[in-house]
Amino acid sequence: MKLSGARVLITGAAGGLGLALARELARSGARLCLTDRDESLLGSVRGEFPDAVVLPLDVSDESSAAACAAEVARSWAGLDVLVNNAGTVSGGDLVSVSPARHRATVEANLLGPILVTRAFLPLLEKSPGFRVAFVASASGYLPLPMAASYAATKWGVRGFAVSLEEEFRIRGFGGRRVLVVCPSYISTGLFAGASAPFLTPILEVGSVARGIARALRHDARVLDMPWSVHLLKFLARVLPDSWYRAFLRVAGVATSMARWTGRGGTRA
């Protein structure tokens, strides 16, 4: 895919990975539509990206997604790339995390990409080479205690993404329409307090943004970061389940969220 001139919409673009990706794609010459539910932050986004379309969007709200899609349709005749980036994290054991936080995690991380992709699909279908990217997580491949509902949403996003790509193929759009991004912990503040497992450093947000841009250019289907995620996937295939879980405990994966605080400095 040629990113220069491509029409790209990013959800959750007012901070963290979304903002870093916006900067990376702007350097590549992409035309940007930047969205976020936090309207108080959109002013600074407009200031940094004066040529971008900047719109409020609550990904978990169907009417918000529809209104945003209608506004984009008035600005652009189509959409080349949709990046489902918006998401949230809640750490803690199942009972200590409130039902409201579990629900918010599922709505933002799983329901959100479904609603947003559905709302923007008519615009995407107007582009012969459209792509849909989903920011999932390495936790979508493995058990993650103290963040069970978060991990569940990332398993779900992967399932939705690969199923959607097959749906695109059946409908005659061809392959390589979907990119699933599965990074380990990223230094955005969302994972403050989390411990880096063995061979899995906390990723610098700019490097993840560059990786996503590179994956889009090369029509990749999956982007796993860092390389150790490939090792975890390989071991899951070849080891008996009890051995694999023991390895995750020894490597520190199973306890990596034990001291998570997030941006607020306290557990949810």
Is 126 part of the annotated catalytic residue set? no
At residue 135, the pLDDT reads: 98
Task: Quickly state the pLDDT bin for 74 (edges 50, 70, 90).
Answer: very high
Burial readout 126-148 (b: 16 or more C-beta within 10 A, e: otherwise): ebeebbbbbbbbbbbbbebbbbb
Is 150 part of the annotated catalytic residue set? yes
User: Which backbone phi and psi does 102 adopt, to 5 degrees?
Assistant: -60, -45
- Residue 79 above 70 pLDDT? yes
- Residue 267 above 80 pLDDT? no
At residue 263, the pLDDT reads: 74
Place of tokens 């399932």: 159
Q: What is the pLDDT of residues 166-181, one digit of tens each?
A: 999 999 998 899 999 9
Q: What is the mean pLDDT of residues 52-64?
A: 98
Name the active-site residue from 2, 126, 141, 154: 154
- Selected residue with higher pLDDT from 268 and 254: 254
Flag whether the pTM goes above 0.75: yes
At residue 175, the pLDDT reads: 85
Q: What is the C-alpha to C-alpha distance for residues 51 and 158, in angstroms, rounded to an integer? A: 33
The residues spanned by each domain of the chain are 7-250
Name the active-site residue from 150, 185, 233, 244: 150
Place of tokens 């933002």: 108
Q: What is the pLDDT of residues 97-146, one digit of tens each?
A: 999 999 999 999 999 999 999 999 999 999 999 999 999 999 999 999 99
CATH architecture, domain defined by 7-250: 3-Layer(aba) Sandwich (3.40)
Q: What is the C-alpha to C-alpha distance for residues 105 and 87, in angstroms, rounded to an integer? A: 7
Place of tokens 């008035």: 74
Task: Quickly state the pLDDT bin for 264 (edges 50, 70, 90).
Answer: low
Contact 251, 245 (CB under 8 A): no
- Residue 266 above 50 pLDDT? no
DSSP 8-state secondary structure symbol assigned to residue 203: B
Q: What is the pLDDT of residues 84-100, one digit of tens each?
A: 999 999 899 999 999 99
Q: What is the pLDDT of residues 210-237, one digit of tens each?
A: 999 999 999 999 999 999 999 999 999 9
In whole angstroms, how large is the CA radius of gyration of the chain?
18
